A and B are shown apart, each in its own frame.
Chain A
Amino acid sequence: MRKLLFITLLAISALAQAGKFGSFTNSDDVGASVLKGAADFDSSTGNYKVTGSGTDIWGKSDQFHYVWREMSGNFAVSAKAKFLTDGLTHRKAVIMLRKSLEPDSPFIHLAIHADGTPAVQFRNTKADNTNTVDFPVEGPGVWRLKLVRQNTTITVWIAKGNEPLRELGHTSTQLGSPVLVGLGVSSHSQAATNTVLFSDVSVEQLQTPAPTRR
């Protein structure tokens, strides 16, 4: 009963958000890159311009800029990502779920690399190595990314340009609730920043299915 009430409250607050970062509440550098990141939300267009630096979101520890909000239960996040600045092939823009702001926190994300390599990457436990599933390279462009969490299942979709979203597949995660949900940008180098324009951003709380009777 208490859990149900909690979920309902979250659903309401998700709709009521209209703060400094639109669908999100905070903007932070994760890890300590030499160069600082930043996030600009344009409330008239709903677009986010996110600048991030950092070695990578990879290995045992991450450096990137993160625009996020806390969420629990099931949800869907989608966004279009466009790289605005030149840089390294493997600079990345991601939709992420993350346990905490610690650089070695467990996470899972759907990433698009600047060269057009989609990937699902995750760190299962604190300070563990990052796992990856890399999909065939499709070349640079504007990409739509969508990530849905239903219980422990994470399903991801992607589309290049104006193509229809296509499902890449699914995996599972034990991140639990609450979790930090947001948009991340890393330049793949401490000596560079990478700016990504996120547009058509949608963050939707999904109903938690009723427990099945056994």
Chain B
Amino acid sequence: MRQILFFCLLSTSAFSQSGMPGVFSSARDVGSPALKGSAEFSEGQYRVTGAGANIWAKQDQFQFVWREMSENFTVTATMRFLGQGAEHRKAGIMVRQSLDTDATYADVVIHGNGMPGLQWRSKPGEDTNAFDFPFDGPGTFTIKLVRTGVRIFMYMAKSGNQLKEIAHTEVSFQNPVLVGLAVCSHQADASDTVIFSDVSVEAEAPLKPKSP
């Protein structure tokens, strides 16, 4: 039997922190978007506003709400865009090596038009790789990112349906990594606001050494 022990230390710490957003420790813009982003945590929801050209190609601009983590973990969130915006504005859960604009990353995102994507930059300054999945329009989505070694798994459900595994990719990070929520407007002169609710961050306990 696989001995995996999940502990939710983070959901309790959400209420012991004041000022900074919930289970995460910090919020800031990555890549200096022309418009400043922001993040608020209240009544169990994250209201994240981000601008920026894109999270794409060789460098990124977006608002990032994050905490540091090591080893394996699972992050889940339910998200919806507020108001109108660019078709390819995007929001989701990101694992990132650093706050550098061209850092190695992997994310599971939903675009403004409802298109889900799994994206990653394998090395700093490289082009982003992406795989986009079939979709049927915008809405409220629950997304889940699981890191297991080099594997980054994506799960997704639309409008309260059962979470389903979609796919996984492989990205090599060094520990620790930054884990959090990302919002990008896909245009320099506009911001987008996304409400993230039911956010959970679970760390997998270190595996006990195998008995001989």
Contact = CB atoms under 8 A, between A and B. Distances in A.
Interface stretch (B13-21, B86-94, B127-135): B127-135
Interface stretch (A20-28, A66-74, A130-138, A205-213): A130-138
B70 interface: no
A43 interface: no
A134 B169 CA distance: 6
A47 interface: no
Interface stretch (A2-10, A77-85, A164-172): A164-172
B122 A169 contact: no
A122 B170 CA distance: 12
B129 A131 contact: yes
A133 B122 contact: no
Given A124-B127, A131-B122, A133-B118, A169 B132 contact: yes
Nearest to A134: B168
B165 A171 contact: no
B34 interface: no
Interface in A123-176: 124, 129, 131-136, 167-172
B130 A171 contact: yes
Contacts of B130: 171-172
B167 A135 contact: yes
Contacts, number: 39
B127 A134 contact: no
A120 interface: yes
Interface string A102-134: 000000000000000000101010000101111
B56 to A, nearest CB: 11
A171 B169 contact: no
A133 B127 CA distance: 16
Nearest to B130: A171
A167 B168 CA distance: 17
Interface in B149-169: 165-169
A133 B132 contact: no
Given A129-B122, A131-B129, A133-B118, A169 B168 contact: no
Contacts of A167: 134
Given A120-B131, A131-B129, 5 more contacts: A124-B129, A129-B122, A135-B167, A168-B134, A169-B132
Interface of A: 120, 122, 124, 129, 131-136, 167-172
Interface of B: 118, 120, 122, 127, 129-134, 165-170
